[in-house]
Amino acid sequence: MKVVSIFLALINFLAGILLVLSCISSDETLAWVAWKTALGIMGVAFGILTFKDSAQPVAQRRMILYGLLLVIAGVSIVAYGIHWSVVSGDPKNTVMLVGGSFFLHGFTSVLGIAGDS
């Protein structure tokens, strides 16, 4: 599971960078830009922590907490993407893809830690 978690960390790291960069020249509401920036920073930070944990172990409790935060954020993003798709009639596949990636990264991180014990 750790290999999958590290691969998803790379994908989430890149997705986080793209989310932050997409906010630079957007003409969206301030709240939406803040949410996208926060999620992008979270993806980058947890991606870095997963890579750091694979090289030099981070405290196990922290990694479990970070994994659970990713699971919660992923499920929330997917639920918001489904809600947005139903309300607007325009499916937001990218939102659900990012949410699913966050969820899987957190899930595999927690399972990888549980498998080591």
Structure tokens at 79: 């639920």
Q: Is the pLDDT of residue 116 over 70?
A: no
Confidence bin at 115 (pLDDT 50/70/90):
low
Q: Is the pLDDT of residue 117 over 60?
A: no
